Amino acid sequence: MPAAAPSSPPVRRARRYGALAAALAAVATTAPAPAVAAPAAPVGAAALEEVMFVGNNWEGTVDVIRSRGDYARLGRVNVVPDKQQRLWEIYLNPIKLAFYLGIQQGPGEGHDQLVDDMYTTPDGTALVASRPSFADVVSIDLRTGAVRWRFPVSGFRSDHMAVSPDGTRVAVSASTSDTVHVLDINTGKQVGSFGTGDTPHENIFTDGGRHIWNMSIGDVNSSLDAPSQDWTKGDRKITIADATTFAKVKEIDMRPRLDAYGRSDLSDAVRPAVFTPDESKLYFQVSFFNGFVEYDVAGDRVTRVATLPKNPNTTEDRTKWVNDSRHHGMSISPDGAKLCVAGTMDDYTTIVDRSTLTPGPLVTASKPYWATVSGDGRDCVISESGADQVTAISFATGQKVVSVPVGDHPQRVRIGHLPAGWTPPAAR
């Protein structure tokens, strides 16, 4: 296979978001300083209530639902109260505008990407969210709805986040600068950063918060999707960084490991991933594949590959699959016995027995985009981005429990906490 033609990092990154961005990428620009609002008076020492947050990416809102049981909707939070200000900044800067439009027409499928990921602060008084189209992370006061702080990421797009086990730090991927920023969740101040492969995506804290694993997925916006063109997708790898010093501990390129297992046909772009409770095994999805891979961490090798059913109604034209992902979304039951897999382009979700990698019933779902675990650990909760709802599926039976309507194009779903008796800012 021919080697990729060399190109500088700025040109590679610009190419991901269209010809207009590429033409402007050589021009220097300076990001504005974060606009920090004075925090509202903290809620007193009230008890915290566990809830789920659902990010409605195209709408710029987050729905709050119960984390178990009936998953009833409790309220909605606007995470773009400063939308007009951000848009004026973009419109007045041709480079920012080029990337904004590139994101809109590429990853956004013709829509703004206004909320990708979100977590609450330890005291439950603020929601911290990444906003891809605005290339930032913001903290929204859950009492007033105002912006507490804003952190513009390097480059032109923010993406997946992860919160440390103690809840004090949040790691966010800056897609176009190949960087992970680690922020103090209460103040928005950067405490460190580290470089990654091309287009950092998923982040996971491991070892009790001592390390951060980042998965880079390369160029997912080009139409060069045939297996023979895989070499054009860029530098894809897992980067493991020390969460205190932010020094790189290890880099893992799945290409030789997949080849050694006999699956040179699979992409090495690691997508959503989950560890077993003891962190001995990593399960991950890769671009274009209707299935997932099992990786032994200590042995540093691929040990099994599970191929899941295809939907006969799903086109085999790879250029039609959203951002190169055929399947996108995984979670694991608290006991590590079951995996939940979102078959995004195949319109189903299934519970997989981890010992045999055998799928259970295929639960019909409309473009399921993410999977997480309910507060009581009984259910897998998926976002159905094509139906604007979230659906709970029982780990025990593999059957649907309930669906709850949410906003436009739900993606990430995260467990969080709020002061007991919370009411949405708009309802005050």
Number of neighbouring beta carbons within 10 Å of residue 155? 18
Residue 32 banded pLDDT, cuts 50, 70, 90: very low
| R_g of the chain computed on alpha carbons | 20
Average of per-residue pLDDT across 208-216: 98
Judged against a pLDDT cut of 80, whether residue 28 lies above it is answered with: no
Residue 351 banded pLDDT, cuts 50, 70, 90: very high
Of the given ranges (45-49, 282-286, 327-331, 409-413), which has the lowest mean pLDDT? 45-49
Q: Report the DSSP beta bridge partners of residue 64.
A: 53, 75
Judged against a pLDDT cut of 70, whether residue 254 lies above it is answered with: yes
Judged against a pLDDT cut of 80, whether residue 273 lies above it is answered with: yes
Average of per-residue pLDDT across 290-308: 98
CA angle at residue 184 from 178 to 187, to 5 degrees?
120
The backbone region for 137, taken as left when phi is positive above 0, alpha when psi lies in -120 to 50, beta otherwise, is beta
Task: Give residue for tokens 């699959």.
Answer: 321
State residue 427's pLDDT score.
59
Of the given ranges (40-49, 230-239, 326-335), which has the lowest mean pLDDT? 40-49
Of the given ranges (80-84, 219-223, 261-265, 305-309), which has the lowest mean pLDDT? 219-223
Please provide the average confidence, as pLDDT, over all residues in the chain. 90
Query: Percentage of the chain surpassing pLDDT 90?
Result: 81
State residue 186's pLDDT score.
98
Number of neighbouring beta carbons within 10 Å of residue 310? 14
Token pair of 113 as six digits = 């990407």
Average of per-residue pLDDT across 371-392: 98
Judged against a pLDDT cut of 90, whether residue 320 lies above it is answered with: no
Judged against a pLDDT cut of 60, whether residue 242 lies above it is answered with: yes
Alpha helices in 25-163 (DSSP H): 83-91, 94-105
Residues in the chain, total: 428
State residue 227's pLDDT score.
85
CA angle at residue 381 from 66 to 317, to 5 degrees?
145
Question: How far, in Å, are 61, 80, 261, 329, 422 from residue 134 at the CA level?
Answer: 14, 10, 41, 24, 28
Average of per-residue pLDDT across 48-63: 97
Q: Which amino acid is at 191?
A: V
Average of per-residue pLDDT across 185-206: 98
State residue 46's pLDDT score.
62
Judged against a pLDDT cut of 90, whether residue 58 lies above it is answered with: yes
Of the given ranges (17-31, 57-71, 206-220), which has the lowest mean pLDDT? 17-31
Residue 110 banded pLDDT, cuts 50, 70, 90: confident
Q: What is the CATH number of domain 48-419?
A: 2.130.10.10
Query: Percentage of the chain surpassing pLDDT 70?
Result: 89
Judged against a pLDDT cut of 90, whether residue 192 lies above it is answered with: yes
